[in-house]
Amino acid sequence: MITNKPILLNLSPTELEDLVTGWGEPDYRAAQIESWLYQQAADDAAQMTNLPQALRQRLVDESILSPLTPVMSLDSADGYTHKTLFALPDGQEVEAVLMRYDQRQTLCISTQAGCAMGCPFCATGQMGFKRNLSAGEIVAQVLYYARWLGARQPLVRQLDRAGKQVTNIVFMGMGEPLANYAETWRAIRRLNDPSGFNLGARRMTLSTVGLVPAIRRMSREPEQVGLAVSMHAPTDELRNIIVPLNRRYPLAMLLQTSREYIERTHRRVTFEYALMDHLNDNPTQADQLADLLRGLLCHVNLIPLNPTPDSPWSGSPDERVAAFRDRLQAAGIPTTVRLRRGIDIAAGCGQLRNAHSQGKVV
């Protein structure tokens, strides 16, 4: 339901202060509310026990603490992956996925409802673009999982509690983050801010299909957020099919921009490569990819494709994945294979939303 109430997570510290002082409260109340929202992941004003009762009630009546409503959640059979479908205030739906590892809890979040990039192997691309998320709607996904993991104390007290906090964030869910640049970066700054969620920028990674002007802009940002580029093909002819944006920003331009990014930031770029059976996974294509990347400060993350019902391609079998990896490594390209997680719960971005919209049970 659409409402005119302000979403508190959309407000900057100054805007939040203006709101509470406009209600006749002292300005320090804004910092108290901010602490409850970001450091203690509160989603109920009743939890804000150091606020006067009248202010807590006003927060309930005249603002929105969280713009997300969980619609459904699924756990993988192995217990390492948890996925949630959220409804936004206007009825649009987005997903977030928590992937649990021995030393970290990595959260994959969405920046758009739908996606305009049109990659045919991607469930989100198949649904088309609906709208951009606000910074608060992006941050709210992180705070939901902070609560889910039990991180209700200030984050500084959580650092030694393995498994009880979100340790890493990847902007790799629904949507193209760099197509929603301003709100995505506002969210990054609130997540990074010591008075916000206080997560180090180097613990965040942003994935793009290759919006060249936005990568250049990102290279000038002070926050040291990681960059991952979804490549998926070693030739323009094939990438034009897999990643339609390649027609606007072909590989030569994308790689030159990646070189400039590395020179400016001195940070490694990750190139993501979704392996699709007998489409982009043969030895010649591995050699072509190695030739493109040789000499770059980079890393290749091979991703066996998570199957989607409407994709014309399936994921490469293990033996072809291993052969592709070995060929890249033999050519001196640092390469790893992403551990498959959550296939049984439609963990690929957009899959759960599509299944739910079609009335299907995963």
Question: Catalytic annotation on 119?
Answer: no
Task: Give residue 153's pLDDT.
Answer: 42
List the CATH code of the domain at 69-357: 3.20.20.70
Per-residue model confidence (pLDDT) at position 359 = 55
Pairing of strands 298-304, 335-337: parallel
The pLDDT value recorded for residue 312 is 84
* pTM of the complete model: 0.91
pLDDT at res. 148: 92
Tens digit of each residue's pLDDT (9 = 90 or more) over 301-358: 999 998 777 778 999 999 999 999 999 999 999 999 987 655 554 545 555 555 555 4
The pLDDT, as a whole number, for residue 306 is 83
- What letter does residue 97 receive in the DSSP assignment? E
Tokens of 28: 């320090």
H helices present in 158-198, as ranges: 181-192
- Which one is catalytic: 17, 93, 95, 183? 95
- Answer yes or no: 95 catalytic: yes
Radius of gyration of the chain (CA): 21
SS3 call for 304? strand
Q: For position 2, what pLDDT does the model report?
A: 58
| pLDDT < 70 positions in the chain | 1-3, 151-164, 340-362
pLDDT at 80: 87
Predicted local confidence at residue 351, as pLDDT = 58
352 contacts 72 by C-beta, under 8 angstroms = yes
Is the domain defined by 8-62 classed in CATH 3.60.21.10? no
The single residue of 108, 119, 122, 349 carrying the catalytic annotation is 349
**What was the pLDDT predicted at 194?**
94
Encoded tokens for 343? 């296939």
DSSP 39: I
The domain segmentation of the chain, as residue ranges, is 8-62, 69-357
Residue 312 in tokens: 């014309």
Q: Do residues 9 and 66 touch, judged by C-beta distance below 8 A?
A: yes
* Residue 50 exposed, middle or buried by CB count within 10 Å (0-12, 13-18, 19+): exposed
